Structures are given as structure tokens and as C-alpha cells.
Amino acid sequence: MNPHPFLSLAKERRINIAPTAFFKRANAPELPQQRFMNITKNLGMLLLAIYLILVGITTLFHIGIPAIVTGVLALAAGILILIGR
């Protein structure tokens, strides 16, 4: 008796199966957080993050944020990133 009937069927039909097909899922214990999330001190990167979040929200939910706000935010983030602040 074959322990894995799918193997004999795969050999019969010449199906290439992945070697991970017979692994069982491991039960990992919860991983506790040991420290708080670090927020960047780089002002340019912080402005870029805010800009990307605003553009994402605007795109997904069709919320009207004025173009001047996103434009100024993008310009400020780009300049600060270029000068390394």
C-alpha cells in the first residue's frame, strides 16, 4: 500500500509536484513586541510618508484633497530629501 496515493497518480500521469506538497503547517508561538516602532527623524522622509498616505487615501476613497496641498508636500519632501535633512 502506497503511503501517498497522490504520488502514484502523479507518477502515472507524469505530473511534476513540489516537494513541499506533503509538509504540515507548523504552529508558531505568538511573537511579542519588545519595543516601540521607531519614527524617522528625517523630516524629508516623514513628509514623503505623509504625502504617500494622503495620495493613497485620495486614490482609494475618492476624497478630495486639494492639489496644492499634495504638490507643496511633495515638493518640500523632495527638497528636504535632496539636501539630506
Tell me the torsion sign for CA atoms 60, 50, 84, 76.
positive
C-alpha closest to that of 19 among 7, 5, 3, 34: 7
As a whole number, the mean pLDDT across the chain is: 76
- pLDDT at position 4 is 60
pTM of the model: 0.53
The CA-atom distances, in angstroms, between 77 and each of 4, 35, 53, 85 are 58, 28, 13, 9
- pLDDT at position 52 is 93
Measured distance CA(77)–CA(85) in Å, rounded:
9
- pLDDT at position 14 is 59
Measured distance CA(48)–CA(42) in Å, rounded:
10
Q: What is the pLDDT of residues 33-71, one digit of tens each?
A: 666 767 777 899 999 999 999 999 888 998 888 889 989
